[in-house]
Structure 1
Amino acid sequence: MKKNIVLTAVMASSLALFGVPAAFAKSPAKADTAAAAYDVDKASFVKVVSSSNAFEIESSKLAEQKAKDADVKEFARQMIADHTKAGEGLKKAAKLEGPQPAMAPKHAAMLETLKGASDKDFQPLYIDMQAAAHAEAVSLFATYAKGGDDKAVKAFAQKTLPTLEMHKMHVQKLVAAH
């Protein structure tokens, strides 16, 4: 129960931590479209996804080295492969060139926390962070897939969402097992 409360709080505040809530989602213009998906700003989506993706890769590289259990190490390898592929897909869809911006302060702080974690605390912390990150990512991608403002990036979100949903289910199994 405690983990569910923490995950809900993380998801609810994630965009505010990036400082983009007003720019990210706008309410539908008409009452009859109130049930429709929110309109989502491409620049904000790309910013959040780029940072989140970098966190997934870097934290999983640490987990390959520091995690104790084989299932967690395998999950980390899968995260590196899938999020590297997703990063390339985002660059192509959004027509991004050159190096991507630095990791957002939220993700940088999470990564530093992982780096400083003791051997005993690392694995449970990594699993909890991955659970929160994937709950957040599924919500973000589902929103953009329904109401995104850029056709190519929206198609990328739609294509990537099932993989993120699979990651979310996988990490939930890790939470239950550890």
Structure 2
Amino acid sequence: MKNIALALVATTALAFSFVPSVDAKSPASADTAAAPFKVDKASFVKVVSSSNAFEIESSKLAEEKAKDGDFKEFAKQMIADHTKAAEELKAAAKVDGPEPPMAPKHAAMLETLKGASEQEFQPLYIEMQNVAHMEAVSLFATYAKGGDDPAVQAFAKKTLPTLEMHKMHVQKLVAAH
């Protein structure tokens, strides 16, 4: 359990691995609010590529290690959806070549999952998924609202509803277990 607590603290502390620029204006309402920070294309692509790689690899582990069928089914969906998102991001961003290496944050989270005991794995995996999807929804919403590349911005807008669905699914799994 000590490993779970440390992993969750590390995951939460490293919520965003890019440096946002803060917009000091106070919006009249949340509906008309400008994005609270700006994310450039290069940072967005880097973070999303790493996040997709983490989602895919951690979910492959979950297909093997998770005990509950609903976790295995969720993992299968994460692999399919994040593989598709990775391909669509590469096309939108016009990125050729191999995937960049996973960010240290995501690599550490994956190593924690690999080392988790049978008893620790499922709660750790779903908590990491919960945090990752909260981060992803925030990042995609921000880029969809104020991204600096129209094709990547369109990708963010198109992908955001799927990430919001993942986030709700994760929260249901958290509540059920």
Instruction: Compute the TM-score of the two structures, normalised by the length of structure 2.
Output: 0.87
* Contact 2:66–2:122 (CA under 8 A) maintained in structure 1: yes
Q: Report the CA distance between 1:39 and its aligned residue.
A: 3.0
Letter in 2 for 1:44: S
In structure 2, the gaps of 5 or more residues are none
1:121 is matched with: 120
* Contact 2:14–2:105 (CA under 8 A) maintained in structure 1: no
Partners in 2 of 1:164 and 1:149 — Cα distance? 21
Which stretch shows the higher mean deviation, 129-138 or 32-41?
32-41
1:108 is matched with: 107
Residue 144 in 1 paired to residue 143 in 2? yes
Residue 96 in 1 paired to residue 91 in 2? no
Letter in 2 for 1:115: K
1:49 is matched with: 48
Find the residue that maps to 1:14 and give its secondary structure.
coil
Matches of residues 62-101 of structure 1 in structure 2 within 5 Å?
62-101=61-100
Q: Report the CA distance between 1:33 and its aligned residue.
A: 7.5
Letter in 1 for 2:21: K
Deviations 1:2-60 (A, max 9, x none): x9xx69x82x7422xx3x31xxx3344x8587942233200000000000100000000
Deviations 1:107-159 (A, max 9, x none): 00000000000111111110111001001100100000001000000000000
2:15 is matched with: 14
In structure 1, the gaps of 5 or more residues are none
What is the RMSD computed on CA atoms of the aligned residues? 2.1
Deviations 1:84-108 (A, max 9, x none): 0000010000000010111000000
2:21 is matched with: 26
Instruction: Compute the TM-score of the two structures, normalised by the length of structure 1.
Output: 0.86
Residue 36 in 1 paired to residue 68 in 2? no
Partners in 2 of 1:77 and 1:153 — Cα distance? 26
Using the aligned pairs only, state the percent identity. Answer: 75
Letter in 2 for 1:125: L
**More helix by proportion, 1 or 2?**
1
Letter in 2 for 1:140: L
Equivalent pairs, count: 165
